[in-house]
Chains A and B, each alone.
Chain A
Amino acid sequence: MSYKIPMGPYHPGLEEPYKLDMICEGETVQDVNLKIGFNFRGIEHLAETRNYIQVIALMERVCGICSNVHTLTLCQAMEQLTNLNPPPRAKYIRTIVAELERLHSHVLWAGIAAKLMGFKTMFMTCFELREKVMDILQAISGNRVNYAMNCIGGVNRNIADPAAILVMVEALEKEMVKKVIPIFTTSSTARSRCAGVGVLTQEKAISCGVVGPTARASGLPQDMRRAAPYAAYAELDFDVPVQPEGDVRARLLVRALEIMESCKILRQALAKIPPGEVQAGDGKFNFTTGTATSRIEGPRGEVIYSVSWKQGSRTPARVHVRTPTFANMPSVRWMMQGARLADTPLIQASIDPCYSCTDR
């Protein structure tokens, strides 16, 4: 006999408010229906009432974890509409903050995944390390969540002493190599809870159009930093980790390897950061009529903004945001079919879902 188990919108196994209606036969999940929208805020519509300064602050609040990627993508789109090109130093600073954000996001996810595996010690270790990433972000921006770094034509704050930040990054990398990476890649607990669990085949990953680490863990080597470089990524050397298995362990390994790649990018960017201005233009913006689209690789995958403007207007005519979780979440249905009920919190968490982004 099959029966339905609702999980969410408020449940200890979920970090944010969404709902999974699971149809089960015994302990096996047969099918899943996902529901979102419990905290839908209408931010896209609200953006049409905000001027070109206010809209940056508004879109920074789409997400509390990857807030910087939203302002970066928005500002890149607005720069196309104002014909402004950020100075080289600003592009490096954008890259540095984006990679620090990826680091803290991946370590946060690793901690949550560890908690869902029943690996509480690892959870504490990850959160301790994440604090150190947050300390670096605070040292750069003065903020720990919404960094307010991006503006049209560059960044709001300079990195006065890249060498000091580099020392902090190197110390962090050592701890990552010593603690986090070995546990996630070699521990029997991680292997037994994750290997062969929640498989998303490459065929299904293509069909669902998944992005970011979820796609790369199903063997798809897509990464906007490589495919359509922005900021300073074209000048930096890094690998795009790909795992073919498509299970939770593959998603774990991809993020673990990406932590190392982020450290590699940070070391290069901090060493190569060129001198000069951090903002282009004089602070007065002349928007041309039209639509501009910008994409970046956020911690969860491709973020896309389409921004429309009418010349002479202070407010956008339309701002459309497609967040990575919006693309990835439908694939959870296929990951969960045939899974054990006890594995479902970890499976849904393995895409690193962000419902703040999704309920924008």
Chain B
Amino acid sequence: MSVLETISEKLGITEPWVEQGGVHWLEPGTVNVRDLARTMNDVKARFVTITAYQLPKDEGFRLEYHWDIDGLLMGFPFQLAGNSIESIYDLCEAVDWIEREIHEGFTVEFTGREYEPLQLRPGAKLGVNLREEVTK
């Protein structure tokens, strides 16, 4: 069984992996991001990054979580209806700075963790990467 099949089985996802744009994508469906992080720990995957997208109008955000196993890059997109998602910091230490950066840049709340300012200086506002901030 390949590592991708193992991950699908552990997550209970029957949807196929799709290789596109240099990444093996898997739609997480109803899988929680914390269960995904636990599975990635089980298969000894290395956390790479999270890419945040602000969706048009009031559609919220999409966060793409990336892990790597021996050069195989995997991607898991999560659609946020609002602006919050559970933090995986306690399960994956490597997400600390990127969760803080996305929180500061996009005002996404990673629940279940505390933040200290990473890039913000005293008096600065959250949301520097939000489109409406630029158009003001």
Interface residues of A (CB under 8 A from B): 33, 35-38, 40, 42, 44-45, 77, 80-81, 206-209, 222, 224, 226-228, 290-295, 302, 304, 306, 308, 318, 320, 322, 326-327, 329-330, 359
Cβ-defined contact, A209 with B48, below 8 A: yes
| Of A42, A80, A227, the contact of B129 (CB 8 Å cutoff) | A42
Also in contact, A292 and B22, with CB within 8 A (given A37-B121, A227-B70): yes
A34, chain B: closest CB distance, angstroms: 9
Also in contact, A209 and B21, with CB within 8 A (given A37-B119, A304-B66, A318-B53): no
Cβ-defined contact, A207 with B94, below 8 A: yes
B53: nearest chain-A partner, CB-CB: A318
| Of B46, B53, B118, B120, the contact of A209 (CB 8 Å cutoff) | B46
Also in contact, A208 and B93, with CB within 8 A (given A37-B120, A80-B21): yes
A292: nearest chain-B partner, CB-CB: B21
A72, chain B: closest CB distance, angstroms: 14
B70: nearest chain-A partner, CB-CB: A227
Interface size on B, residues (CB 8 A): 34
Cβ-defined contact, A320 with B97, below 8 A: no
Q: Is B33 an interface residue (CB 8 A)?
A: no
Also in contact, A306 and B51, with CB within 8 A (given A80-B22, A227-B70, A359-B119): yes
Cβ-defined contact, B49 with A322, below 8 A: yes
| Of A80, A320, A327, the contact of B51 (CB 8 Å cutoff) | A320
Cβ-defined contact, A228 with B73, below 8 A: yes
Given the complex, which residues of A lie within 8 Å of B120, measured CB to CB? 37
Those of B33-49 within 8 Å (CB) of chain A? 44, 46-49
Cβ-defined contact, A45 with B129, below 8 A: yes
Bound complex: CA of A80 vs CA of B21, how far in Å?
6
